[in-house]
Structure 1
Amino acid sequence: MEAIKRAIYGPNPQEQMQKCNSLLRRNERQLDKQLTNLSGLEAKTKSMIKASAKRGDASSARILAKEIYHVRQQRSRLFKSKAQLQSVGMQVREAFAVRRIQGSMQASTGIMRDVNTLVRLPELSGTMRQLSQELMKAGIMDEMVGDTLDGLDEADDVLEEQADAEVDAILSEITGGKLGQAGTVPDNVPAEEEPAEEEEEADLDDMRERLRALQS
């Protein structure tokens, strides 16, 4: 009987809303998990920078500071994506509320634009595609528009070219101003317990691998 109703009247609006909300919550939990992982990476890398600075290894300290730069760039993107996802949630709930009052649904260009942006995120690609399919079934958005963010890679290249000043600032921040631009590192830079050099190199490789996993 339920299948016949669906065939005649279409999907149940309440069920559609619940499914959309469930997918939105799932996406937000995924972003929160990624943000937590990035915070852990940054804390570990700060400790490694202090240890490198204490040894006088300015080169390693600078490499590590650049990793923190990338972590912070990624975290900034995820925070923006989380705000955008929350905006989608509010617009979806508003669209279903209007449907209850007016008995019809209108496609929202705002939701379509935000979903097109979020579906490009590796962290959310799968679940955002599921959400977009549900939103299309509900009539809240039309077919996905492709290639809406073609300029992002070029913008990222520009940011990479400007990273050196940020890396200097990160080094100065973590070492209390005792190490900024690459050069001689004083012996009195504060550090936590110093790890063995081989262990630090392994930790650095592990950290880079996890950062790549978060970005891909």
Structure 2
Amino acid sequence: GCVACLSDADCNGGRCDPEGHCVDCLDDGDCGGGHCSTEQSCAECLEPGHCAPTQDCVEQQCFDVHCSSGAKDADETGKDCGGSCPACPVGEGCAAPSDCASGVCDEDTKVCMGCTTTMDCPVDTFCLVEVGSCEPRRMKGEACPTSDACVSGSFCVQEVCCESACGDACHSCLGADTGVADGECDVAPGKKCKLGLNLPGLCDAQGACHLSL
């Protein structure tokens, strides 16, 4: 999901769009010589004209024309993939994890495989088991599908990477609860809580739980 924000400072180097969502870019000027796509993410190219004459635009990156020749050539490890070309799908050849879109190169068969656990993945990545792909660990405020999806020092709380374990009943890591950016553990006025004997309560602005009448 999108990361909520109030300003660019909440976006880990990204931009806060007018709807209050963190995005990589608002225009090409945010991309350091690259191009801002319709999904508001920076890309090296969006069309062939953005690349050198000897290159094609493949998956928003500029690659040498041999990467779309239909054959395994040059330094490719699979057909039109690996080496200096786009990463290979599962089943194609590989020499290193970087040759594989999944991030997993079987050391024995030298074939790209899907991951089944984070132990299969390179450092600073985690296994998104549903698709068998090693993904970069998520930053504070970003959605986390698993407990090991966040960068070191962050915690996956309420499905978002949070600055702390945020275990107090009247605190939250969700901006919708606290009014600050996602990933910041803060008081959550109005959040439901439990009192002694499991009585229902509501949190106040100071982080205390009071009986809900």
Query: When the two structures are superposed, what TM-score results if normalisation uses the length of structure 1?
Result: 0.21
For the pair shown, the structure with the greater C-alpha radius of gyration is 1
Higher-strand-fraction structure:
2
Which protein has the bigger helix share? 1
Q: Which has the higher contact order (CA 8 A, sep 6+)?
A: 1
With the length of structure 2 as denominator, give the TM-score of the two structures. 0.21
